[in-house]
Protein backbone atom coordinates (compact mmCIF):
# COMPACT_ATOMS: atom_id res chain seq x y z
CA UNK A 1 0.00 0.00 0.00
CA UNK A 2 2.90 2.37 0.61
CA UNK A 3 3.98 2.08 -3.03
CA UNK A 4 0.45 2.91 -4.19
CA UNK A 5 0.40 6.01 -1.96
CA UNK A 6 3.76 7.18 -3.30
CA UNK A 7 2.61 6.61 -6.88
CA UNK A 8 -0.57 8.63 -6.36
CA UNK A 9 1.34 11.53 -4.85
CA UNK A 10 3.86 11.46 -7.71
CA UNK A 11 1.07 11.50 -10.29
CA UNK A 12 -0.63 14.44 -8.62
CA UNK A 13 2.62 16.43 -8.48
CA UNK A 14 3.32 15.62 -12.13
CA UNK A 15 -0.15 16.87 -13.10
CA UNK A 16 0.72 20.36 -11.93
CA UNK A 17 3.16 20.62 -14.84
CA UNK A 18 0.65 19.55 -17.50
CA UNK A 19 -0.45 22.06 -20.18
CA UNK A 20 -3.95 23.52 -19.62
CA UNK A 21 -5.76 21.15 -22.00
CA UNK A 22 -4.16 18.04 -20.52
CA UNK A 23 -4.65 19.38 -17.01
CA UNK A 24 -8.34 19.72 -17.76
CA UNK A 25 -8.50 15.99 -18.37
CA UNK A 26 -6.68 15.19 -15.14
CA UNK A 27 -9.67 15.06 -12.72
CA UNK A 28 -11.37 12.39 -14.79
CA UNK A 29 -8.16 10.39 -15.08
CA UNK A 30 -7.48 10.63 -11.36
CA UNK A 31 -11.03 9.56 -10.56
CA UNK A 32 -10.72 6.52 -12.82
CA UNK A 33 -7.39 5.58 -11.22
CA UNK A 34 -8.77 5.92 -7.70
CA UNK A 35 -11.73 3.70 -8.53
CA UNK A 36 -9.24 0.82 -8.75
CA UNK A 37 -7.94 1.28 -5.19
CA UNK A 38 -10.64 -0.61 -3.32
CA UNK A 39 -10.34 -4.00 -5.09
CA UNK A 40 -6.63 -4.17 -4.27
CA UNK A 41 -7.09 -2.93 -0.73
CA UNK A 42 -9.97 -5.31 -0.18
CA UNK A 43 -7.92 -8.33 -1.26
CA UNK A 44 -4.93 -7.20 0.78
CA UNK A 45 -6.97 -6.94 3.99
CA UNK A 46 -9.71 -9.55 3.53
CA UNK A 47 -8.38 -11.86 0.86
CA UNK A 48 -11.03 -13.45 -1.36
CA UNK A 49 -13.78 -13.30 1.28
CA UNK A 50 -17.17 -12.02 0.17
CA UNK A 51 -18.35 -8.72 1.63
CA UNK A 52 -22.05 -7.89 1.75
CA UNK A 53 -22.64 -4.18 1.18
CA UNK A 54 -25.41 -2.05 2.67
CA UNK A 55 -27.35 -5.00 4.07
CA UNK A 56 -28.31 -3.10 7.23
CA UNK A 57 -26.11 -5.11 9.59
CA UNK A 58 -23.72 -2.18 10.00
CA UNK A 59 -24.19 1.51 9.16
CA UNK A 60 -21.47 4.14 8.94
CA UNK A 61 -22.28 7.80 9.54
CA UNK A 62 -19.80 10.47 8.42
CA UNK A 63 -20.03 14.06 7.15
CA UNK A 64 -20.11 14.57 3.39
CA UNK A 65 -17.54 17.35 3.78
CA UNK A 66 -14.96 17.45 6.56
CA UNK A 67 -14.79 20.76 8.42
CA UNK A 68 -11.34 19.72 9.65
CA UNK A 69 -9.67 16.85 7.81
CA UNK A 70 -7.56 16.10 10.88
CA UNK A 71 -10.64 15.65 13.09
CA UNK A 72 -13.42 13.95 11.14
CA UNK A 73 -16.17 12.56 13.39
CA UNK A 74 -17.64 9.21 12.42
CA UNK A 75 -19.99 6.74 14.08
CA UNK A 76 -20.89 3.14 13.37
CA UNK A 77 -24.21 1.65 14.41
CA UNK A 78 -24.98 -2.03 14.76
CA UNK A 79 -28.48 -3.42 15.43
CA UNK A 80 -28.81 -5.09 18.82
CA UNK A 81 -29.51 -8.53 17.38
CA UNK A 82 -26.38 -8.27 15.23
CA UNK A 83 -24.20 -6.86 18.03
CA UNK A 84 -24.60 -10.11 19.96
CA UNK A 85 -22.71 -11.84 17.15
CA UNK A 86 -20.21 -9.06 16.41
CA UNK A 87 -16.61 -10.27 16.32
CA UNK A 88 -14.63 -7.37 14.84
CA UNK A 89 -14.98 -4.10 12.98
CA UNK A 90 -12.33 -2.81 10.58
CA UNK A 91 -12.27 0.88 9.73
CA UNK A 92 -10.64 1.74 6.38
CA UNK A 93 -9.91 4.93 4.47
CA UNK A 94 -9.09 4.07 0.87
CA UNK A 95 -6.76 6.95 0.04
CA UNK A 96 -4.93 7.39 3.33
CA UNK A 97 -1.22 6.47 3.40
CA UNK A 98 -2.13 3.73 5.90
CA UNK A 99 -5.65 2.74 4.77
CA UNK A 100 -6.51 0.55 7.78
CA UNK A 101 -7.33 3.15 10.41
CA UNK A 102 -8.20 0.70 13.18
CA UNK A 103 -9.57 -2.73 13.96
CA UNK A 104 -11.91 -3.16 16.92
CA UNK A 105 -12.28 -6.67 18.32
CA UNK A 106 -15.38 -6.95 20.46
CA UNK A 107 -15.54 -8.78 23.77
CA UNK A 108 -18.26 -10.27 25.91
CA UNK A 109 -18.95 -6.89 27.52
CA UNK A 110 -20.09 -5.55 24.16
CA UNK A 111 -21.93 -8.63 22.94
CA UNK A 112 -23.56 -9.92 26.13
CA UNK A 113 -25.54 -8.35 28.92
CA UNK A 114 -29.02 -6.84 28.92
CA UNK A 115 -30.66 -5.97 25.62
CA UNK A 116 -30.35 -2.26 24.83
CA UNK A 117 -31.12 -2.49 21.13
CA UNK A 118 -28.78 -0.70 18.72
CA UNK A 119 -25.16 -0.23 19.75
CA UNK A 120 -22.91 2.60 18.62
CA UNK A 121 -19.15 3.02 18.25
CA UNK A 122 -17.83 6.51 17.48
CA UNK A 123 -14.41 8.10 17.02
CA UNK A 124 -12.52 10.73 15.00
CA UNK A 125 -10.26 10.08 12.01
CA UNK A 126 -7.77 11.85 9.77
CA UNK A 127 -8.51 12.17 6.06
CA UNK A 128 -5.51 12.59 3.76
CA UNK A 129 -7.50 13.03 0.55
CA UNK A 130 -11.06 12.85 -0.76
CA UNK A 131 -11.90 9.22 -0.08
CA UNK A 132 -14.34 6.48 0.69
CA UNK A 133 -14.42 5.63 4.39
CA UNK A 134 -15.51 2.06 5.11
CA UNK A 135 -16.68 0.09 8.13
CA UNK A 136 -16.45 -3.69 7.67
CA UNK A 137 -18.11 -5.82 10.35
CA UNK A 138 -17.26 -9.48 10.89
CA UNK A 139 -19.91 -11.62 12.57
CA UNK A 140 -19.57 -14.93 14.41
CA UNK A 141 -20.57 -16.90 11.31
CA UNK A 142 -17.45 -15.57 9.54
CA UNK A 143 -19.35 -13.27 7.19
CA UNK A 144 -18.35 -9.69 6.39
CA UNK A 145 -20.74 -6.75 6.09
CA UNK A 146 -19.81 -3.25 4.89
CA UNK A 147 -21.11 0.29 4.97
CA UNK A 148 -19.20 3.07 3.16
CA UNK A 149 -19.39 6.85 2.84
CA UNK A 150 -17.50 9.24 0.55
CA UNK A 151 -16.04 12.15 2.50
CA UNK A 152 -14.55 15.32 0.98
CA UNK A 153 -11.49 16.65 2.73
CA UNK A 154 -7.70 16.60 2.46
CA UNK A 155 -4.47 17.15 4.36
CA UNK A 156 -5.47 15.56 7.66
CA UNK A 157 -2.51 13.19 7.90
CA UNK A 158 0.08 15.94 7.37
CA UNK A 159 -1.71 18.73 9.24
CA UNK A 160 0.41 20.50 11.85
CA UNK A 161 -0.40 19.31 15.39
CA UNK A 162 -2.73 21.61 17.30
CA UNK A 163 0.06 22.27 19.84
CA UNK A 164 3.82 22.52 19.49
CA UNK A 165 5.72 19.28 19.99
CA UNK A 166 6.69 19.86 23.62
CA UNK A 167 3.18 20.96 24.59
CA UNK A 168 1.65 18.01 22.77
CA UNK A 169 3.82 15.60 24.73
CA UNK A 170 3.47 17.38 28.09
CA UNK A 171 0.28 15.64 29.14
CA UNK A 172 0.99 12.43 27.27
CA UNK A 173 -1.25 9.54 28.25
CA UNK A 174 -3.72 11.42 30.46
CA UNK A 175 -6.99 9.50 30.28
CA UNK A 176 -10.49 10.80 30.88
CA UNK A 177 -13.50 8.50 31.14
CA UNK A 178 -17.06 9.71 30.89
CA UNK A 179 -20.07 7.49 31.27
CA UNK A 180 -23.77 8.12 30.90
CA UNK A 181 -27.13 6.45 30.92
CA UNK A 182 -30.23 7.28 28.91
CA UNK A 183 -33.47 6.41 30.71
CA UNK A 184 -35.28 6.48 27.38
CA UNK A 185 -33.09 3.59 26.25
CA UNK A 186 -33.81 1.58 29.40
CA UNK A 187 -32.12 1.10 32.76
CA UNK A 188 -29.44 -1.13 31.25
CA UNK A 189 -28.16 1.36 28.66
CA UNK A 190 -24.57 2.46 29.17
CA UNK A 191 -22.24 4.63 27.10
CA UNK A 192 -18.55 4.97 27.88
CA UNK A 193 -16.41 7.71 26.36
CA UNK A 194 -12.65 7.30 26.54
CA UNK A 195 -10.35 10.23 25.78
CA UNK A 196 -6.56 9.87 25.74
CA UNK A 197 -4.23 12.83 25.49
CA UNK A 198 -1.78 11.80 22.80
CA UNK A 199 -0.63 13.64 19.63
CA UNK A 200 -0.79 10.46 17.52
CA UNK A 201 2.02 11.77 15.32
CA UNK A 202 1.73 10.36 11.80
CA UNK A 203 5.33 10.73 10.61
CA UNK A 204 4.03 13.02 7.83
CA UNK A 205 3.86 16.24 9.87
CA UNK A 206 6.48 18.97 9.73
CA UNK A 207 7.94 20.44 12.89
CA UNK A 208 7.52 24.24 12.44
CA UNK A 209 10.75 24.85 14.36
CA UNK A 210 13.13 22.33 12.78
CA UNK A 211 11.30 21.99 9.44
CA UNK A 212 11.93 18.27 9.70
CA UNK A 213 9.33 15.54 9.96
CA UNK A 214 8.05 14.68 13.42
CA UNK A 215 8.71 10.96 14.03
CA UNK A 216 5.60 8.80 14.04
CA UNK A 217 4.27 7.97 17.49
CA UNK A 218 0.69 6.88 18.05
CA UNK A 219 -1.62 4.75 20.18
CA UNK A 220 -1.50 1.30 18.63
CA UNK A 221 -3.36 -0.78 21.23
CA UNK A 222 -6.31 0.12 23.42
CA UNK A 223 -8.46 -2.11 25.62
CA UNK A 224 -11.63 -0.99 27.37
CA UNK A 225 -13.40 -3.14 29.96
CA UNK A 226 -16.57 -2.74 32.00
CA UNK A 227 -17.14 -4.83 35.14
CA UNK A 228 -14.12 -6.91 34.18
CA UNK A 229 -15.48 -7.80 30.76
CA UNK A 230 -13.89 -6.59 27.54
CA UNK A 231 -15.94 -4.10 25.53
CA UNK A 232 -13.34 -3.90 22.76
CA UNK A 233 -9.67 -4.16 21.96
CA UNK A 234 -8.45 -1.73 19.33
CA UNK A 235 -5.41 -1.97 17.08
CA UNK A 236 -4.91 1.57 15.83
CA UNK A 237 -2.80 3.44 13.29
CA UNK A 238 -1.98 6.97 12.15
CA UNK A 239 -5.46 7.58 10.75
CA UNK A 240 -7.00 7.95 14.21
CA UNK A 241 -6.94 11.63 15.15
CA UNK A 242 -4.75 13.22 17.79
CA UNK A 243 -6.10 12.88 21.33
CA UNK A 244 -8.08 9.72 20.49
CA UNK A 245 -11.71 9.96 21.52
CA UNK A 246 -13.85 6.81 21.39
CA UNK A 247 -17.45 6.27 22.52
CA UNK A 248 -19.13 2.90 22.81
CA UNK A 249 -22.61 1.88 23.98
CA UNK A 250 -23.38 -1.42 25.67
CA UNK A 251 -25.70 -3.11 28.15
CA UNK A 252 -24.80 -3.01 31.85
CA UNK A 253 -26.35 -4.46 34.97
CA UNK A 254 -25.02 -2.10 37.65
CA UNK A 255 -24.64 1.66 37.85
CA UNK A 256 -21.37 1.15 39.75
CA UNK A 257 -19.57 -0.93 37.14
CA UNK A 258 -15.85 -0.19 36.99
CA UNK A 259 -14.49 0.89 33.61
CA UNK A 260 -10.87 0.01 32.90
CA UNK A 261 -8.74 1.49 30.14
CA UNK A 262 -5.32 0.19 29.13
CA UNK A 263 -3.40 1.62 26.19
CA UNK A 264 0.08 1.51 24.66
CA UNK A 265 1.78 3.58 22.00
CA UNK A 266 4.40 2.73 19.40
CA UNK A 267 7.21 3.94 21.68
CA UNK A 268 6.22 1.31 24.25
CA UNK A 269 4.67 3.74 26.75
CA UNK A 270 1.68 2.36 28.70
CA UNK A 271 -1.28 4.30 30.04
CA UNK A 272 -4.14 3.05 32.22
CA UNK A 273 -7.06 4.22 34.36
CA UNK A 274 -9.87 2.65 36.37
CA UNK A 275 -13.07 4.59 36.93
CA UNK A 276 -16.58 3.79 38.07
CA UNK A 277 -19.46 4.11 35.60
CA UNK A 278 -20.17 7.66 36.71
CA UNK A 279 -16.72 8.65 35.43
CA UNK A 280 -15.39 9.63 38.86
- CB-facing half-sphere around the CA of 44: CA atoms within 13 A: 13
202 close to 126: Cβ distance less than 8 angstroms: yes
**Looking at the DSSP assignment, which residues form a beta bridge with residue 275?**
259
pLDDT of the chain, 280 residues: tens digit per residue: 333 443 444 333 333 333 444 334 444 444 444 557 999 999 999 999 999 999 999 999 999 999 999 999 999 999 999 999 999 999 999 999 999 999 999 999 999 988 899 999 999 999 999 999 999 999 999 999 999 999 999 999 999 887 778 888 888 999 999 998 888 888 899 999 999 999 999 999 998 888 899 999 999 999 999 999 999 999 999 999 999 999 999 998 776 689 999 999 999 999 999 986 444 4
What pLDDT is stored for residue 35 in this prediction? 57
Q: What is the CA radius of gyration of the chain?
A: 20
- Which residues have CB under 8 Å from 175's CB, separation 6+? 194, 195, 196, 197, 261, 263, 271, 272, 273
CA distance 229 to 107: 7
What pLDDT is stored for residue 17 in this prediction? 36
CA distance 75 to 123: 6
What pLDDT is stored for residue 255 in this prediction? 62
What pLDDT is stored for residue 79 in this prediction? 97
Burial of 158 per CB tally in 10 Å (0-12, 13-18, 19+): middle
pTM for the model: 0.85
According to the 3-state scheme, what is the secondary structure of 105-153? EECHHHHCCCCCCCEEEEEEECCCCCEEEEEEEEECCCCEEEEEEEEEC
Amino acid sequence: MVSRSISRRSLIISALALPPLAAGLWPGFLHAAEEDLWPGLREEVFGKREIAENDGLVTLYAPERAEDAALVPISIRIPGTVARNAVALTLLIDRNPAPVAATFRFGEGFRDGPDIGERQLATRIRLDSFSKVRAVLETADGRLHMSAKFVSGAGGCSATPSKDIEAALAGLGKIDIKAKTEPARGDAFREAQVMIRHPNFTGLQLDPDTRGYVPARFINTLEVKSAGQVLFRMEGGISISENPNIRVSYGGSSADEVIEVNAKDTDGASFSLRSDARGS
